[in-house]
Chains A and B, each alone.
Chain A
Amino acid sequence: MGVENFTNWLRDAASTLHENAAYLTELDSAIGDADHGSNMDRGFAAVVAVLDEVSFESVDELMKKAGMTLVSKVGGASGPLYGTFFLRFGTALAGAEITPATVGEALKAGVGGILARGKAELGDKTMYDAWAPALDAYDDAVAGGADLGGALAAAAEAAAKGRDATTPLVARKGRASYLGERSAGHQDPGATSTTLLLESAARTLA
């Protein structure tokens, strides 16, 4: 498990986000400003362009570069949030062997970065509503003896449940919060893209 696997994750995530760009933008049209899909697509396409040009020696350098690229290319709120996630995720893996435990710590560090930047709480109808159950499920799976792929699959499954659970919520952060009660009944686009990223990780880091 090394640079090649994580490169595969980023490439797979880019193609998944590209395929789902119209879907994400449609979700964002309902409660936001109709740009989440095109922004994520543009950002990950830029990450792929970097992967095509640069070869990386270590996973942490790779993930940090992906984070900086997202910060530079995505804009909106998702740029700083996902960018910070990958920056912190990469930093946490510096010098570490890739194991289910170290990746778990890196995921926690990444999500900690999202919280520091976005200041969201559970139930605010944001991407954190997918990340939080995903982290718990990941830890439980590792404690139960799962390998990296198994733990990520558990995390992705929990993220999907968290994503589905955002539908009835009233948004309290981000642009959807301006809608007040009218934001209820719509699935959160950020929780949706988070789930796509984790599903991609489960596919590629197995």
Chain B
Amino acid sequence: MGGMKKLINEPADVVSEALRGMGAAHPDRLKVDLENRIVYRKDAPRAGKVGLISGGGSGHEPMHGGFVGLGMLDAACAGEVFTSPVPDQMMAATKAVDTGAGVLHIVKNYTGDVMNFEMAAELAAADAGTEVLSVVTDDDVAVQDSLYTAGRRGVGVTVLLEKIVGAAAEEGRPLQEVADLAKRVNDNGRSMGMALTSCTVPAAGKPTFELAENEMELGIGIHGEPGRQRLPLAPAKEIAAMLVDPVLGDLPYQQGDSVIAFVNGMGGTPLLELYLMYNEVQQLLDRAGITVARSLVGNYITSLEMAGCSVTLLKVDDELVRLWDAPVNTPGLRWNA
């Protein structure tokens, strides 16, 4: 492998310079606290509304900063690339968006993210008396035996959850109800991902793992970490089945279920291939007797320049579909607004 080719200045400045650019590009929707590395909704705090905060390592754009705005998050805390943000950031964001209705932390299930958000919630409660509830997403079926692991990872369902729960918070629902809805979304969603290439963390300067020309990794997360299994490269049709089958079997999804079907790119795969994959996924769902109520195709929860994709299915009822359709206006997702 050769050196790192990236559009950067200094590896140490990647996150702060990208945040500066995000603020400059979306002044109508966002305001960015560069010191604390927090992306806020332009009109935050919204009186009487439950505050929704997420955050995580950088390198997953548009998640999370790109999902800040009307109908989604009130604030997103950005960590270093693939590194959880710190409690100070989450505390600052929590205090800034709370108007007395309380705050929900949306946390992906990674050891560091969970620990830092836990510390922040403890500190915010002790310090400002802010009521904080948390939901931890853990939808990745690639991690099978949660007794002997850190538990399943939070991946694609996080995007769908932030949209749906964002709509509910926008309606003015109370904190507990918003948190219950978030848990329901997480409980009904499952994901599985694969990679065609690794990715390079700017500070590391070389790919996190090596994949030969004819190999792929099945069961990856979103941090460039290797997956559970290395396999020979296969046609898209077969890869789709490797992703959809374990997802379908896990909830399990049943004939007659309605789902939001989400084919997500890991950052380095063109939309052409993602739509091709969606075509395969839809056919598999048709065959299983599952109705696609809504779909989402694109790069939404990424792993730097990794090539590959993930499939997320979320079982939905009329209420979840209605919340999905509700207006959203963020840099990453926008409709009906």
Contacts of A180 in B (CB 8 A): 145, 149, 228
Q: In the bound complex, how far is the Cα of B203 from the Cα of A75, in angstroms?
A: 15
Asked if B204 and A81 make an inter-chain contact with CB atoms under 8 angstroms apart, the answer reads: no
What separation, in Å, do the CA atoms of A33 and B224 have in the docked complex?
6
Which of A29, A39, A74 has the most B CB atoms < 10 Å from its CB?
A29
Q: Kindly supply a per-residue 1/0 record for chain A positions 143-184, scoring 1 wherever the CB is within 8 Å of any chain B CB and 0 otherwise.
A: 000000000000000000000000000111111011110100
A73–B203 CA distance with the chains assembled, in angstroms = 16
Whether B150 pairs with A178 at a CB distance below 8 angstroms is yes
The answer, among A35, A77, A172, for a CB contact under 8 Å with B81, is A35
Closest residue of B by beta carbon distance from A38: B203
Which chain A residues border B150 with CB–CB below 8 Å?
173-175, 177-178
Q: Which of B109-117, B125-133, B156-164 is found at the contact surface with chain A?
A: B109-117
The residue of chain B having its C-beta at the shortest distance from the C-beta of A117 within the complex is B115
Binary interface profile of A, 78-93, with partner B (CB < 8 Å = 1, else 0)?
1111000000000000
Contact with B along A13-39 (1 / 0, CB 8 A): 000000000000100011111110011
The stretch that binds A, out of B1-9, B83-91, B241-249, is B83-91
CB < 8 Å neighbour of B86 from A33, A71, A170, A178: A71
Chain B: minimal CB distance from A76 (Å):
4
Contacts of A178 in B (CB 8 A): 142-143, 149-150, 153, 221, 225, 228
Chain A min CB distance to B57 (Å): 8
Q: Majority SS of interface residues in chain B?
A: loop
Contact of A75 with B116 in the complex, beta carbons under 8 Å = yes
**Chain A proximity mask over B95-131: 1 for CB below 8 Å, otherwise 0:** 0000000000000001110011001000000000000
Q: How many residues of B contact A (CB 8 A)?
A: 35
Chain B residues near A34: list those with CB within 8 A. Answer: 82, 201, 204, 208, 224
Residue in chain B with minimal CB distance to A32: B225
Check if B80 sits within 8 Å of A39, measured CB to CB: yes
Contact A29 B86 (CB under 8 A): no
The verdict on B79 contacting chain A, using a C-beta distance below 8 Å, is yes
Residues of A at the B interface (CB closer than 8 Å) are 25, 29-35, 38-39, 42, 71-81, 117-118, 170-175, 177-180, 182
